[in-house]
Amino acid sequence: MQFKALLALVWPKTHVKFERDWCKAASVTARHYETPRFTRVDALWIPVDSVLEKNHEENEAYLEVLRANGAQLEQARYIQDIQIGNHGRTLACALAKAEEFRRLARSVERDGIRRPVLLVDVAEFDLPYRMFRFDGHHRAICAKHLGMDLVPAFVFKVTPPVISRH
């Protein structure tokens, strides 16, 4: 797994995804942090609760859609608030996204998490979480729903925090 982590470190799309998520995270932009650079990566097993610290207020809405049955599904916060409200999707599209998410949960139950979650260790930053997750939220939610304690993760170390001089 460490070899795959090293590939993720050099794969350009990893950096692009991280930079995009970093620049739109409210907790980061509020503190005016510049985008740090990766310095190394480790393949680890991380407690699912640590993975889900970032955006923890949304997690219950995601869990709710995995627990919901037919009639409850349309009214789930994942559908109404996240898919329709935040993303502007139609109800039909939101329900399709929910079904895709539920299929992922069945896959994780059957096969485990096959693609590690991508995290950045931000312990040196003044942020309300230790791990900045930039890929794998749905997989981590599925793991939580299924009662898993640990998830596979690639944990990136980064340069120390620098505040932008705007």
Tell me if 163 is assigned to some domain.
no
Tell me if 116 is assigned to some domain.
yes
Tell me if 153 is assigned to some domain.
yes
Q: Which two tokens stand for residue 96?
A: 């399709």
Tell me if 24 is assigned to some domain.
yes
Answer whether 120's CB lies under 8 Å from 15's CB: no
pLDDT value at residue 3:
86
Between 48 and 69, whose confidence is greater? 48
Share of the chain above pLDDT 70, in %: 99
Tell me if 80 is assigned to some domain.
yes
Give the C-alpha distances (Å, rounded to integers) separating 53 from 36, 59, 80, 100, 140: 20, 9, 23, 23, 11
Q: Which domain holds residue 72?
A: 2-158
- CA dist 152 and 116 (Å) reads 5
Answer whether 121's CB lies under 8 Å from 85's CB: no
Tell me if 165 is assigned to some domain.
no
Number of domains comprising the chain: 1
- What is the average pLDDT across 92-100? 94
Q: Determine how β-strand 117-121 pairs with β-strand 150-158.
A: parallel
| pTM score | 0.91
CA 48 to mean position of chain CA atoms: 11
pLDDT value at residue 166:
60
Q: How far apart are the first and last CA of the chain?
A: 40
Residue 70 clears pLDDT 80, i.e. is over it: no
- What is the average pLDDT across 54-79? 89
Q: What does the pLDDT look like over 108-164, one tens digit per residue?
A: 999 999 999 999 999 999 999 999 999 999 999 999 999 999 999 999 999 999 998
The single-letter code of the amino acid at 68 is A
Residue 2 clears pLDDT 90, i.e. is over it: no
Tell me if 31 is assigned to some domain.
yes
Tell me if 166 is assigned to some domain.
no
pLDDT value at residue 165:
72
